Amino acid sequence: MPAARSDIDIAREARKLPIGEVAARLGIPDDALVPFGRDKAKLAPDFVRSLGQRPSGKLILVTAVNPTPAGEGKSTTTIGLGDALVRIGRRAAICLREPSLGPCFGQKGGATGSGMAQVVPMEEINLHFTGDFHAITAAHNLLAAMIDNHVYWGNAEKIDSRRIVWRRVLDMNDRALRDIVTSLGGPANGYPREAGFDITVASEVMAILCLAEDLADLERRLGEIVIAYRVDRSPVFARDIGATGAMAALLKDAVLPNLVQTIENNPAFVHGGPFANIAHGCNSVVATKTALRLADYVVTEAGFGADLGAEKFFDIKCRQAGLQPAACVIVATVRSAKMNGGVAKADLAAEDVEAVRRGAANLGRHIENVRAFGVPVVVAINHFATDTAAEIEVLREFVAARGAEGILCRHWAQGSAGAVELAEKVAALADGGTARFEPLYPDDMPLYAKIETVVKRVYRGVAVTAERGVLAQLADFEARGYGRLPVCMAKTPYSFSADPELLGAPEGFGVHVREVRLAAGAGFVVALCGEVLTMPGLPRRPAAERIRLDGSGRIEGLF
Residues belonging to the binding site for ATP are 68-75
Judge contact between 534 and 173, C-beta under 8 A: no
**In this structure, are residues 285 and 320 in contact, taking their beta carbons and an 8 Å threshold?**
yes
Total length of the chain: 559
| Closer residue to a copy of itself, CB minimum distance, 34 or 413 | 34
Minimum CB separation of residue 232 from a copy of itself in Å reads 24
Report the residue number, 250 or 503, with the smaller CB distance to a copy of itself.
250
Exposure of 288 in the CB half-sphere (CA atoms within 13 A): 30
167 in active site: no
Active-site residue, from 275, 412, 477, 509: 412
**β-bridge mates for residue 64, sequence order:** 331
DSSP, res 31: G
Q: Which of 42, 97, 168, 358 is catalytic?
A: 97
Q: In the annotation, is 372 catalytic?
A: no
222 or 378, CB closer to a copy of itself? 222
**Least distance from C-beta 187 to a copy of itself, angstroms?**
11
DSSP 8-state symbol, 113: E
Name which of 165 and 555 has its Cβ closer to a copy of itself. Answer: 555
Task: Give yes or no: 76 in active site.
Answer: yes
**Helix or strand or coil: residue 556?**
strand
Minimum distance of a copy of itself from residue 539's CB (angstroms): 8
Determine which one of 384, 398, 477, 559 is catalytic. Answer: 384
Minimum separation from the CB atom of position 204 to a copy of itself (A): 18
Beta carbon nearer to a copy of itself, 154 or 481: 154
Inter-residue contact 160 to 193 (CB < 8 Å): no
Confirm whether 384 is a catalytic residue: yes
For the CB of residue 462, give the shortest distance to a copy of itself in the complex, in Å.
Answer: 32
Sequence-distant (≥ 6) Cβ neighbours of residue 322 within 8 angstroms: none
Distance CA 253, CA 413 (A): 36
- Who's near 53: CB < 8 A, 6+ residues apart? none
| Contact between residue 397 and residue 69 where contact means Cβ atoms under 8 Å apart | no
Considering beta carbons, is residue 214 or 351 the nearer one to a copy of itself?
Answer: 214
Q: Known catalytic residue: 74?
A: yes
Which contiguous run of DSSP H or E holds residue 284?
A: none
412 is catalytic: yes
Q: How many CA atoms lie within 13 A of 525 on its CB side?
A: 27
Nearer to a copy of itself, 92 or 135 (CB): 135
Chain centre distance of CA 190: 37
| Residue 145, C-beta contacts closer than 8 angstroms, at least 6 positions apart | none
H/E element holding 222?
helix 215-224
Residue ranges of the annotated binding site are: 68-75
Distance CA 67, CA 501 (A): 12
CB 215 → a copy of itself: shortest distance, Å?
6
* 97 among known catalytic residues: yes
Which are the contacts of 239, defined by CB distance < 8 A and separation ≥ 6? 222, 223, 224
CA angle, residues 474, 475, 481, in degrees to nearest 5: 95
Helix/strand/coil for 555:
strand
DSSP per residue over 138-196, as a string? Answer: HHHHHHHHHHHHHHHTT-TT-EEEEEE---EEESS--GGGSSEEES-SSGGG---EEE-
> Of 87, 91, 108, 239, which one is the catalytic site residue?
108
Q: Is 304 a catalytic residue?
A: yes
Is residue 27 helix, strand or coil? coil
Nearer to a copy of itself, 105 or 297 (CB): 105
The active-site residue out of 25, 42, 58, 74 is: 74
> By C-alpha distance, which of 454, 220, 183, 186 is closest to 315?
454
User: CB of residue 533 vs a copy of itself: minimum separation in angstroms?
Assistant: 9
CB of 97 to a copy of itself, least distance (A): 19
Catalytic hit among 202, 207, 254, 276: 276
Question: Which residues are catalytically annotated?
Answer: 74, 76, 97, 108, 276, 304, 384, 412
